[in-house]
Amino acid sequence: MTSTKERILDASLELFNHRGERNVTTNHIAEALGISPGNLYYHFRNKSMIVAALFERYQHNLLTLLEQPQGPLSWKVKVYYFEGLLASMWQYRFFHRDLSHLLNADEELAAAYRLFVERVVESGLVIYGELRNSGILEMTDDQLEGLMVNTWVLMSSWAALVHALRPDATADESLDESLMRHGIYQIICLEEPFLRGEARDHLEQMKARYRSPDSSPTLLLVQQGAASKEKAG
């Protein structure tokens, strides 16, 4: 049976993802669970503690995914990593949407996040290094480091960018997920100049797997464009 503490975290995650963390109070969470605020405070003294616990979940999921690979890597393993990244981005999308606000509001969370990013970059460098050793990527050490940092910057900021440009996505889960998937397409575009062998052979297949039917500018700016035309009319 799921504990009350876990139920609180599950309900909080769902509410944060759909409404945004800043729009959800502990009273909202308690009401969604049908428990008293006092019962919630018994497990978490405030909302910051709930956010920190959800970050621990997210951190564990992502770092487990990025554990050092065993043996040579193939383009299919790249799909595995992309799907894992996508699942984490989608499951904890509120965190990336509200990242700046959350880190500015909690010094302990900000310190934990810095250590987390260090570990992600270290693990990512190992994976990219193994992809290079397998002949899937061809690049210098400097290019490899640059690709890893750029990949993390894109991944961690993508949700905030698309929701700033497409606020309508929060109310439309299929659009929201499409936007998140397109973030993986953008990562593939970063890698494209360095792909070799079977990864190059399957490049279009990988792009098609994650690309939205719309181009990136259209996908991100269509809502604003429509709003501008409506206002002008």
Shared-domain flag, residues 61 and 166: yes
The total number of structural domains in the chain stands at: 2
Q: Are residues 108 and 216 in the same domain?
A: yes
CA-based angle 158:91:38, to the nearest 5? Answer: 120
Domain co-membership, 72 together with 106: yes
What pLDDT score does 231 carry?
Answer: 43
CATH of the domain at 32: 1.10.10.60
- Please tell me what DSSP assigns to residue 68: P
Q: Between vectors from CA 154 to CA 101 and to CA 103, what angle results, nearest 5°?
A: 20
Q: 145 — phi, psi (to 5°)?
A: -65, -40
CA distance 91 to 85: 10
Per-residue pLDDT band for 222 (boundaries 50, 70, 90) equals: low
Both 99 and 39 in a single domain?
Answer: no
Instruction: Read off the pLDDT band of 228 (50, 70, 90).
Output: very low
> Are residues 127 and 214 both part of a single domain?
yes
Q: Are residues 141 and 79 in the same domain?
A: yes
> What residue numbers bound the domain in which 30 lies?
1-45
Mean pLDDT of 134-152: 95
Cβ pair 144, 132 in contact under 8 A? yes
162 falls in which pLDDT band (50, 70, 90)? confident
Helices (H), 92-194: 93-97, 99-105, 107-133, 141-165, 173-191
Contact, 52 vs 107, CB < 8 A?
A: no
Q: Are residues 40 and 101 in the same domain?
A: no
Asked if residue 8 and residue 112 are part of one domain, the reply reads no
User: How large a percentage of the chain has pLDDT more than 90?
Assistant: 62
136 shares its domain with 116: yes
Q: Helix, strand, or coil here: 176? A: helix
CATH of the domain at 174: 1.10.357.10
Q: Are residues 70 and 164 in the same domain?
A: yes
Q: pTM above the 0.95 mark?
A: no
Q: Which residues neighbour 86 within 8 Å (Cβ) at sequence distance 6 or greater?
A: 180, 181, 183, 184, 210
37 and 54 share one domain = no
DSSP for 28-58, written as a single string: HHHHHHT--HHHHHHH-SSHHHHHHHHHHHH
Q: What confidence tier does 213 reach under pLDDT thresholds 50, 70, 90?
A: confident
DSSP string, 84-112: HHHHHHHHTHHHHHTHHHHHHH-HHHHHH
109-118: average pLDDT:
96
Domain identity same for 33 and 68: no
Residue 29 has pLDDT above 90, yes or no: yes
